[in-house]
Amino acid sequence: MRNLLLTLRYDGSRYHGWQIQPNGDTVQQRMCDAFFKISGKNENIIGCSRTDAGVHANMFCCNVRTDCTVEAEKIPDALNFYLPSDIAVYGCTEADYDFHARYDCKGKEYVYLIYNGRYRNPFYENKALFYPYEIDAFMLDNEAKSFIGKHDFSAFCSAGSEVKDKVREIYNFSVERKDDIIEMKVSGNGFLYNMVRIMAGTLLDVQQGKIEKGEISRIIESFDRNNAGSTVNGCGLYLNKVFY
């Protein structure tokens, strides 16, 4: 038996997230189906994260313990032959047998993209949030710095989360304009259910004046989800990097 670390990217537009579900097409199911084609067995493929429906990944890591004898460097090509065009494996290495893609993860970086043009752009459909109103990226970048540090982020976690410990450390949070694209980039040691989408929604609510400037620290300290902003659509969210 060997333990393989796979690295892939995917367009999550038509999937119900990573994790296998009884009534929805998922990235994990597609990966399992492809691996079955090359190993002849139903393997348990362990993902680094549970991305939501419609969320994308520039870098997603998973591991599989298998007795498949295909050489590691040949596995990406073999899997890509069977995978749909919106999922692509671009790395495979041998890992320690006890390595776990989720539990050994030291941190992640997410990007949230907003298309800030006057008119909708079909090339960003399901790839970025369409927001045709004014955005002051410099101001939001300053506001976003309030998220940095170790905090209890209960106010930025959707109801339904079963996680009891909601303390996470945010390493960096930036907001940058690149022509008509607003890029929100946040890294940390872990993230709660819908945390990044609520952070992005809170910043947009600051932009709209629904939340006053300088209030993010107070919202964090309130531990109350009702004080934070809206949860933006998952179409603009990308898992960008995974750290081990």
Catalytic residue status for 52: yes
CA dihedral 23, 101, 103, 186 (to 10 degrees): -90
- Considering 52, 67, 96, 152, which one is annotated as catalytic? 52
- Token pair 């790839």 is found at 127
Amino acid at 25: D
Q: Which residues are catalytic?
A: 52
